[in-house]
Amino acid sequence: MPVPFTEGMTVLARGERFMVVGVDPLPVSHPTPMVRLVLRALEGEMRGTEMPVLYPIDTVIPDAVPEMSLERPGRLARFRLLHDVFYLSLAPSRDALISARRARLRFEPYQYVPALRGLELPRPRLLLADDVGLGKTLV
């Protein structure tokens, strides 16, 4: 039976919300596998404190993650995550050549070869410079 908990997920235990910061399966010769979970409290008086629990002796339930939407962003951490997702959705495609500001640029044919090679890189970062002081950064 696989362990249903991973580090970083939120769970409900002892009437509070916790984040799992450690998962250690215990070598026990028992038909039910035992897991030692280290939980960090996310709210209430115990916020920030960690405590170990033994699963399945202690009741630990995976927390239901509500669907993200712009109408109801929720807590600040979820809002930041939603904000980042929104910004990433606005990113141009990998094969697009863009400029940070409006500029009067004249693309020369010899500039396309290194630009297209740069776009094939996993994280394209390339500086094309025609003359001293006239650099074009391709991000």
**pLDDT single digits (tens) 65-97:** 667 666 776 677 777 877 888 887 777 676 666
The tally of domains found in the chain comes to 2
- Which of 62, 79, 102 is the last residue before a domain boundary? 62
Tokens of 129: 């410079």
Residue 131 clears pLDDT 80, i.e. is over it: no
- Which of 21, 42, 62 is the last residue before a domain boundary? 62
Q: E strand or H helix at 76, and its extent?
A: helix 76-89
Q: What is the mean pLDDT of residues 50-63?
A: 86
Tokens of 73: 């962003």
Percent of the chain with pLDDT over 90: 4
Residue 18 clears pLDDT 80, i.e. is over it: yes
| 79 in any annotated domain | no
- Find all residues with CB under 8 Å of 62, minimum gap 6, and list them: 4, 5, 9, 10, 11, 12
Q: Give the pLDDT confidence score for residue 1 in this predicted structure.
A: 47
DSSP secondary structure letter of residue 92? P
Q: What is the mean pLDDT of residues 106-126?
A: 72
| 74 in any annotated domain | no
Q: What angle do CA 101, 91, 135 make, to 5 degrees?
A: 35
Q: Residues 58, 100: one domain? A: no
| 1 in any annotated domain | no
The parent domain of residue 125 ranges over 91-139
Q: How confident is the model at residue 39 (pLDDT cuts 50, 70, 90)?
A: very high
| 70 in any annotated domain | no
| 132 in any annotated domain | yes
CB-based burial, 86-125: b 16+ in 10 Å, e otherwise? eeeeeeeeeeeeeeeeeeeeeeeeebeeeeeebeeeeeee
